[in-house]
């Protein structure tokens, strides 16, 4: 380990709260699909800031949009009308069936807003005593008190933070019968990731989806889809729910929206958006002109360059390369799960050693659920980089 790395670790430990299990890597520079440590060693970025840098690092058009906006109108608060926010809302609404947007600053905040909107709509518009939010095991919805309660995982995420808010219920993943049993007149919403990210790149099963759609036709609950990780072309469609033929009443997004500047959004139908009125929900920073201008450019580039199609095509090539590796290592690789450029390689054993060996070879990715190597590369990644990764994984598994 270099002296710069050792020094940063020491200073970090002396100054920053210990909430992160950081990777043993210091990063000083980034460009495109590459990260560089302080000594200039290059890494292939297959993580993109955890599905954030969809357009890669240091994109010139985004830099220009940010500087131009910062030099024209920076922060003014949501007390005023400003065009970048309106333009972004209009651009987002062109990509989906929703009618209205609320801007905020993160994924957790977007999900918190979605939960509040569902409850308030039920209470104020439907005059129904329906407050319960049903979520799935393995889900991840954020770290605020409501969203960590919604999160279907136990352990450090929840431990010691009680009492947790009431009105949340978690059911087993993809269990259609459990969903039927859980829905009641008290249900405000069912909230799902159509492909669980932290949960190990796990899509909703067809039977569960059918049950969900049928129940929606006959019961009064709302459907919230958490697209914080899956949104903005990641899975091969602009929004993942489009791939699964769902029309959520509310969906959320964040990570890739401003390519690294903090931004989240709640999107909803006109009907459900009536649940909010002036004073019922707000944020100081959400949808500020600078982040909105950058997000506008992100959406424009994604649509111009058809990054949804690109994610689908390059994702298929990646799965093809990885499947070859899986064929050569049937005892080590249980499955390859690909949804566009959201790819999970499930190992038959704890993956820390494999993950570390790949990092040492210059590949940055994530290990989730202890045994799933998760790839969330920039949507502009070249097939060649993914082929290099597959070959490195092959070598690492050979050396075990």
Ligand X SMILES: Cc1ncc(COP(=O)(O)O)c(C=O)c1O
- Applying CB under 6 A, the span of 117-125, 225-233, 352-360, 369-377 interacting with ligand X comes to 225-233
Please, what's the b/e burial string for 83-119 (b: 16 or more CB within 10 A of its CB; e: otherwise)?
Answer: ebbebbbebbeebbebebbbbbbbbbbbbbbbbbbbb
Provide the minimum distance between the beta carbon of 146 and ligand X in the complex, in angstroms, as a whole number: 12
The nearer residue to ligand X, 142 or 315, going by C-beta atoms, is 142
- Supply the DSSP symbol for 259: B
Provide the minimum distance between the beta carbon of 327 and ligand X in the complex, in angstroms, as a whole number: 30
Q: Does 111 bind ligand X (CB under 6 A)?
A: yes
- Applying CB under 6 A, the span of 103-111, 129-137, 307-315, 343-351 interacting with ligand X comes to 103-111
The nearer residue to ligand X, 50 or 282, going by C-beta atoms, is 50
The three-class DSSP label of residue 111 is helix
Among 120, 141, 241, 374, binds ligand X (CB under 6 A): 141
Tokens of 157: 């995420």
The nearer residue to ligand X, 50 or 359, going by C-beta atoms, is 50
Q: Does 112 bind ligand X (CB under 6 A)?
A: no
Q: Does 235 bind ligand X (CB under 6 A)?
A: no
Provide the minimum distance between the beta carbon of 161 and ligand X in the complex, in angstroms, as a whole number: 15
CB atoms within 10 A of CB 217: 6
Q: Does 107 bind ligand X (CB under 6 A)?
A: yes
Q: Does 108 bind ligand X (CB under 6 A)?
A: yes
- 229, 51 in Cβ contact below 8 A? yes
Adjacency order of strands within the sheet including 168-171:
100-104, 264-268, 250-253, 222-226, 187-192, 132-136, 168-171
Please, what's the b/e burial string for 54-70 (b: 16 or more CB within 10 A of its CB; e: otherwise)?
Answer: bbbbebeebeebbeebe
Q: Does 325 bind ligand X (CB under 6 A)?
A: no
Q: Is 227 known to sit in a ligand binding site?
A: yes
Among 91, 179, 254, 358, binds ligand X (CB under 6 A): 254
Q: Does 365 bind ligand X (CB under 6 A)?
A: no
Number of residues that bind ligand X (CB under 6 A): 15
Provide the minimum distance between the beta carbon of 226 and ligand X in the complex, in angstroms, as a whole number: 5
Site for ligand X in 51-80 (CB under 6 A): none
- The runs of H, that is alpha helices, within the chain are 3-15, 48-51, 60-70, 83-93, 107-120, 145-150, 176-182, 206-218, 240-243, 270-273, 289-304, 307-328, 352-360, 383-399
Q: Which residues of this chain interact with ligand X, rule CB under 6 A? A: 50, 106-108, 111, 140-142, 193, 197-198, 226, 228-229, 254
């Amino acid at each position: 380990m270099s002296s710069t790395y050792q020094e940063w670790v020491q200073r970090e430990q002396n100054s920053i709260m210990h909430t992160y299990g950081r990777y043993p890597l210091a990063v000083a520079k980034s460009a495109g699909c590459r990260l560089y440590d302080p000594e200039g060693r290059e890494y292939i970025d297959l993580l993109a800031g955890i599905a954030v840098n969809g357009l890669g690092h240091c994109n010139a058009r985004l830099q220009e949009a940010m500087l131009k906006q910062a030099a024209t109108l920076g922060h003014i608060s949501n007390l005023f009308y400003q065009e970048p926010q309106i333009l972004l809302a209009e651009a987002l609404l062109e990509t989906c069936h929703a009618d209205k947007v609320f801007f905020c600053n993160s994924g957790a905040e977007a999900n918190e807003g979605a939960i509040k909107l569902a409850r308030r709509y039920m209470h104020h518009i439907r005059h129904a005593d329906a407050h319960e939010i049903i979520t799935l095991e393995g889900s991840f919805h954020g770290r605020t008190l409501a969203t960590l309660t919604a999160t279907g995982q136990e352990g450090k995420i929840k431990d010691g933070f009680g009492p947790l808010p009431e009105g949340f219920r978690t059911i087993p993943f993809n269990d259609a019968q459990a969903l039927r049993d859980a829905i009641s007149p008290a249900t405000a919403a069912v909230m799902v990731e159509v492909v669980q990210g932290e949960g190990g790149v796990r899509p909703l099963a067809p039977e569960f989806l059918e049950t969900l759609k049928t129940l929606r036709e006959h019961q009064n609950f709302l459907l919230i889809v958490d697209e914080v990780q899956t949104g903005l072309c990641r899975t091969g469609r602009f929004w993942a729910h489009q791939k699964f033929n769902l029309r959520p009443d509310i969906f959320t997004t964040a990570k890739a929206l401003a390519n690294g500047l903090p931004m989240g959004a709640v999107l909803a139908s006109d009907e459900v958006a009536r649940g909010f009125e002036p004073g019922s929900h707000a944020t100081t920073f959400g949808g500020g002109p600078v982040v909105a201008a950058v997000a506008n450019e992100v959406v424009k580039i994604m649509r111009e360059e058809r990054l949804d199609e690109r994610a689908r095509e390059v994702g298929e090539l990646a799965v093809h390369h990885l499947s070859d590796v899986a064929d050569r290592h049937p005892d080590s690789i249980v499955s390859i799960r690909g949804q566009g450029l959201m790819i999970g390689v499930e190992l038959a054993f704890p993956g820390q050693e494999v993950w570390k060996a790949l990092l040492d070879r210059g590949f940055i990715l994530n290990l989730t659920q202890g045994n799933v190597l998760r790839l969330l590369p920039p949507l502009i990644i070249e097939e060649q980089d993914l082929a290099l990764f597959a070959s490195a994984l092959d070598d690492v598994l050979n050396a075990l």
